[in-house]
């Protein structure tokens, strides 16, 4: 049985065009992984429809994302523009390290 992968990527920005680009990159990568038979959870892709209700900051999503990350066997970090400065991505990486999950990095292409 395949194990669930957590896809960490930045999202928050005051610029709607930046959020759209980040969503689209995460969506394309998520779809590509799913097509290859790799089960993946992307909080950006699966949670975007709720942003107007819940918000876009990582604190608002922390409890939910923690539960999802706890259920994953590994983490994949999408290194798109902004990932190194993202508080949410940094938090998720630290949590994954604490859970001793393997972490891989996927360069934006």
- pLDDT digits over 45-88, tens only? 998 888 778 877 788 888 888 999 999 999 999 999 999 999 99
pLDDT at site 54: 84
As a CATH number, domain 5-102 is 3.40.50.10400
Distance (Å, whole) CA 40 – CA 30: 7
Q: Do residues 81 and 108 touch, judged by C-beta distance below 8 A?
A: yes
In the chain, domain spans: 5-102
38 pLDDT exceeds 80? yes
Q: Global pTM? A: 0.91
Class of residue 37 by CB neighbours under 10 A (exposed 0-12, middle 13-18, buried 19+): exposed
If pLDDT is split at 50, 70 and 90, which confidence band does 109 have? low
Percent of the chain with pLDDT over 90: 78
């Amino acid at each position: 049985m395949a194990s669930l992968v957590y896809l960490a990527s930045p999202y928050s920005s005051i610029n709607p065009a930046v959020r759209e680009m980040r969503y689209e990159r995460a969506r394309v990568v998520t779809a590509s992984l799913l097509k290859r038979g790799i089960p993946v959870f992307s909080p950006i892709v699966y949670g975007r429809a709720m942003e107007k209700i819940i918000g876009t900051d990582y604190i608002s999503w922390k409890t939910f994302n923690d539960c999802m990350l706890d259920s994953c066997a590994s983490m994949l970090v999408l290194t798109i523009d902004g990932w190194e400065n993202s508080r949410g991505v940094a938090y998720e990486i630290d949590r994954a390290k604490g859970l001793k999950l393997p972490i891989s990095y996927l360069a934006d292409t």
